[in-house]
Structure 1
């Protein structure tokens, strides 16, 4: 008598890929929608900030016969920006969301009531010359709006996936290409319950980022500055050493700011009231701007293009001053309650570091030097090798530097991987808190939240 027949393998696994493809096709519709809306939100806020910037730095000083590049005007505008931002953070419902010093690009949804204040603070910071980019606040805005919108019209789409699509879409809109978002998301797609290969998992973020980047270009945006350098061309073995030297030196310089960051944050937040520490930050930023000049203001993208337009106009001594002032301005702005991201100012620092390296290292290609400078600073501040590689190539608009950067990134990454990130952690916040709350921090009767979230 024969034994029991072994069960044949079930063919249930075969339909899974088809199910995955069906889901991808259906989810592509909200992905495209999220991409377009995320880019529109970014563009609207940047357009409003540009209009206000023109008023603050062109119309008002022009009507008064004032030089907008004068030190005292820079000091006055940044101080006033600190006052305005502090008032919003203190008084507007939601207190402009969480302190950007405590957040990364992968934002989680925040209450919708906090979004108007966050948008106003972002606009004020961009227009007023604060040394922060729009990335952290605009990602938080887009994630929160997308999750709230999709929850009302398509409840079957998981909220974490919606948030991930909004992040990807906004990154695509910020950098003008879906490639940056795809690279960033290679380390985040493990949590997507889509099954299939890595490409299957990246498909929806790539669709959202593509829709965001196309919308950005249609609206006249984009990222990158065409450098006036000849293409790097054929790789030279000695340039590996030169490039690694520049990248590691740039990273080491940026790490000075990274390590000062929690100390400066603690110093400003010892004032406890958001109006006090934000006004103090505005005063310090104004003084730094008066010293460094207009090039050291704002998020840094246009200023990077200005540096690259004529590198010979900036001798090494001036580049050193620009680097010191801009790094100090970035640390202060990120510490003093302003809302903004740290990648765009890091790109400017990298451009300045690369130009300095090109001037000091004999025989170094300017295109490769600038790319290595950007690579080193961004990898130290953003702690993301993909973003660092992408923006390094984008800023010099020279794909021939990429093979060299793929090798040079190794010593740069090893130089920063042991260091702390440029982020205020819960442990840092715990050290800042004192046992006794000040009057404006106490919960008043009948209210469930304190006066400030910083």
Structure 2
């Protein structure tokens, strides 16, 4: 006599437990997303208003050209003095050495945030060649971690860090896609914690909330007015491969020089020496390169591409080299700020230079491929480099070209120094 044993019924607890895990994360993610975006927008608006005073109202009142060599040198030096005072006197000294800080990281103590944000506003308004992304993400991480752990102690600290990072990246780029790409690189290195999309669920909610808040209150856009690419051919593929690889080599030059430039400024030992000297050097570089080589770089890219075809190859080469040196100096002497936005300007100048030398190359292919190469070299963030290059071109057809162009460019940069140091001042690879 045999007895048939029916297979056990599938347990409904697995999907239900996932829902019970994910649903409570929505409200904290929405709150962090909106709050992080508001902080980013507020700091950006404050910096823009201050920039208008420093570069328009004040020189007009004094009867001096806002972008005269004398004013650029004076203003960048004064910015170095002001940021030096913040780093010297504010609690927390505006955070650790910015040269050793990447995009995100461990949360700072909340007392560091005011000095970090003041130094960021001064640098952005004063024309320093750094972007807002690193200090804004660091500030949002610190605040979300501190407040979140008090409001909801059951949520792990790492979750608050991920929410703040995703929300700020979503606000910066105006879309949650960039945050998903960046976080997927980090989360893929953490096996055994459920599916990737389960781990991305709450950060994507935060990124979406941050992006929508930015879209509703502002108009973040990476559209720089490049002509669309249609029907790409073999020539476009070849151009993308060559330009991305050449731009990666160009960007690596700053990465190799970074430890030496940083060490040279560190020998001065005091922020009131390092930052004013750095500001003076940035002012001299601005006088050499012109006003387009100042500030974080995105608005300047739009000005660059709006006059497509009117720049000589010599001018474009000067823009690329001066901005690369300005980024190197600003990152070495202690100014707080990110590298992505200046790298976009460097890549755009390099791409337009390639297009000026070989006019048959499509401008969208040239710019997006060069931005891809420079970002790969300076950030070593593959997804964000592809994403930024693609959104600059504003054409779906460019994505396949950039995926191909990223392969030789990655072979050039992988294992090489990047534009970030460890806390001993040695290059990260």
How many matched pairs?
Answer: 427
Tell me the equivalent position of 1:188.
Answer: 186
Is the Cα–Cα contact under 8 Å of residues 77 and 280 in structure 2 kept in the other structure?
yes
Whole-Å Cα distance in 2 between the matches of residues 267 and 11 of structure 1?
Answer: 69
Matched, 1:384 2:381: yes
Tell me the equivalent position of 1:134.
Answer: 132
Deviates more, 1:328-337 or 1:107-116: 107-116
Whole-Å Cα distance in 2 between the matches of residues 157 and 8 of structure 1?
Answer: 40
Whole-Å Cα distance in 1 between the matches of residues 347 and 398 of structure 2?
Answer: 15
Tell me the equivalent position of 2:142.
Answer: 144
Whole-Å Cα distance in 2 between the matches of residues 78 and 8 of structure 1?
Answer: 78
Is the Cα–Cα contact under 8 Å of residues 242 and 361 in structure 1 kept in the other structure?
no
Matched, 1:325 2:328: no
Tell me the equivalent position of 2:49.
Answer: 51
Matched, 1:83 2:60: no
Matched, 1:310 2:344: no
Map 1:168-179 → 2, pairs under 5 A: 168-179=166-177
Q: Normalising by structure 2, what TM-score?
A: 0.95
Map 1:2-17 → 2, pairs under 5 A: 14-17=12-15
Whole-Å Cα distance in 1 between the matches of residues 38 and 152 of structure 2?
Answer: 21
Q: Normalising by structure 1, what TM-score?
A: 0.90
Whole-Å Cα distance in 1 between the matches of residues 249 and 426 of structure 2?
Answer: 25
**Root mean square deviation, CA, Å:** 2.1
User: Which of 411, 418, 422 is 1:414 aligned to?
Assistant: 411
Q: Deviations along 1:28-80, whole A, 9 cap, x unmatched?
A: 11011110000000011111111110110011011111110100100000000
Q: Counterpart of 1:312 in 2: which secondary structure?
A: coil
Q: Counterpart of 2:53 in 1: which secondary structure?
A: helix
Tell me the equivalent position of 1:253.
Answer: 250
Offset, 1:15? 1.6
Q: Deviations along 1:170-220, whole A, 9 cap, x unmatched?
A: 001011110000011112224779954322222211111110000001111
Tell me the equivalent position of 2:296.
Answer: 299
Tell me the equivalent position of 1:97.
Answer: 95
Map 1:195-274 → 2, pairs under 5 A: 195-229=193-227, 231-274=228-271
Whole-Å Cα distance in 1 between the matches of residues 271 and 104 of structure 2?
Answer: 25
Q: Deviations along 1:355-414, whole A, 9 cap, x unmatched?
A: 111112352111111110111111111111111111111112222211111111111111
Offset, 1:22? 2.0
Offset, 1:315? 0.9
Tell me the equivalent position of 1:369.
Answer: 366
Whole-Å Cα distance in 1 between the matches of residues 28 and 192 of structure 2?
Answer: 15
Whole-Å Cα distance in 2 between the matches of residues 198 and 429 of structure 1?
Answer: 33
Tell me the equivalent position of 2:104.
Answer: 106
Offset, 1:150? 1.0
Is the Cα–Cα contact under 8 Å of residues 104 and 141 in structure 2 kept in the other structure?
no
Is the Cα–Cα contact under 8 Å of residues 107 and 136 in structure 1 kept in the other structure?
no
Is the Cα–Cα contact under 8 Å of residues 66 and 72 in structure 2 kept in the other structure?
yes
Offset, 1:117? 0.5
Is the Cα–Cα contact under 8 Å of residues 225 and 304 in structure 1 kept in the other structure?
no
Q: Deviations along 1:126-170, whole A, 9 cap, x unmatched?
A: 000000001110001000100111111111111101101100110
Change (3 A) 1:14 1:312: same
Is the Cα–Cα contact under 8 Å of residues 107 and 167 in structure 1 kept in the other structure?
no
Whole-Å Cα distance in 2 between the matches of residues 8 and 95 of structure 1?
Answer: 68
Whole-Å Cα distance in 2 between the matches of residues 150 and 87 of structure 1?
Answer: 31
Whole-Å Cα distance in 2 between the matches of residues 193 and 159 of structure 1?
Answer: 18
Q: Counterpart of 2:281 in 1: which secondary structure?
A: helix
Q: Deviations along 1:329-378, whole A, 9 cap, x unmatched?
A: 00000000100000110011111111111112352111111110111111
Whole-Å Cα distance in 2 between the matches of residues 114 and 8 of structure 1?
Answer: 63
